[in-house]
Amino acid sequence: MAGILDTVDQRTQLVGENRLEILMFRLAGRQLFAINVFKVQEVLQLPKLTLMPQRHPFVCGVVNLRGQTLPVIDLSQAIGMRPLVPGPNSTIIVTEYNRSVQAFLVGGVDRIVNMNWEAILPPPTSAGRQHYLTAISKVDDQLVEIIDVEKVLAEIVPYNAKVSREKLDDPVLERARGREVLLVDDSNVALSQLRDTLGQLGVKMHIASDGLKALNMLKGWADSGQVMTDKLLMIFTDAEMPEMDGYRLTTEIRNDPRLRSLYVVLHTSLSGSFNESMVKKVGCDNFLSKFQPDKLVDVVRERLMLDEVSA
């Protein structure tokens, strides 16, 4: 299963079709877990593990993979389950999130499944591990829990939402104060980062936890007679979300005459190299990797400057 991200074109065909591929695996028991294949670089047997002093409790050590040193994170322990014991036959999943590459120690990989986002649902409030889940689904009558990897990583290396003083002193950003934006994401960690960063600009924020909720919110405003480009400065949407992903949301926005002129930013932890072709296909206005407060503010500034050009 190594090198499963060798062909970009095949996977980008899913974009805008509200479909995804998930890699299913097990941790310290029989329960199936999953992450989006877009975030996976390869799956392989654990190379030689080097221990590090004063490492985070969830980090088993580091490995050297083709000249790159990667931390190996015990994903089972990180989500509150029994720790895994690394050994020569252990499996790791090498992933890229927010421009960083890391390996997750897992109990074993199951398979890759192509699914529709409509079959991916928010976790029930009764789910014991809901704290670390963004969604659930069923495959062959088996429950699959989709892990909020952004939360796991944020607990190991906390994100920084502080915008530099140099950026905040830009007079153009004063025009953002009091304007409204829509934030669409199923990860509480990502939403917190957006709120913390954009709050420094004085904007008013509306929040939706998936693309379908966001689309219904937008159509409700439009149905009430509001001019959407006057109502909203911009939309920040995640790519992968239950029920409707960010690509399908953007496609639906572009297909509605009342919404199509809205400024849509794809704000995602997925690899930028894949998103360039995706953004072009569905018609997003901009792309931004998560957890970059200064660059987030730069995108807001770019949007404000468009008003100046069109005035």
Task: Tell me the one-letter amino acid at 300.
Answer: V
8 Å CB contact between 51 and 59: no
Q: Domain residues of the chain, as ranges? A: 3-154, 163-307
- pLDDT tens per residue, the chain (311 residues)? 544 444 444 554 555 567 888 999 999 989 999 998 888 999 999 999 998 888 899 999 999 999 999 999 999 999 999 999 998 899 999 998 877 899 999 999 999 999 988 898 888 775 555 688 888 999 999 999 999 998 999 999 888 889 999 999 999 999 999 999 999 999 888 999 999 999 999 999 999 999 999 999 999 999 999 999 999 999 999 988 888 989 899 999 999 999 999 999 999 876 555 556 667 777 899 988 888 999 999 999 999 999 876 65
Give the pTM: 0.83
- Would you identify the CATH topology of the domain 163-307? Rossmann fold (3.40.50)
Superfamily of domain 3-154, CATH level 4: CheA-289, Domain 4 (2.40.50.180)
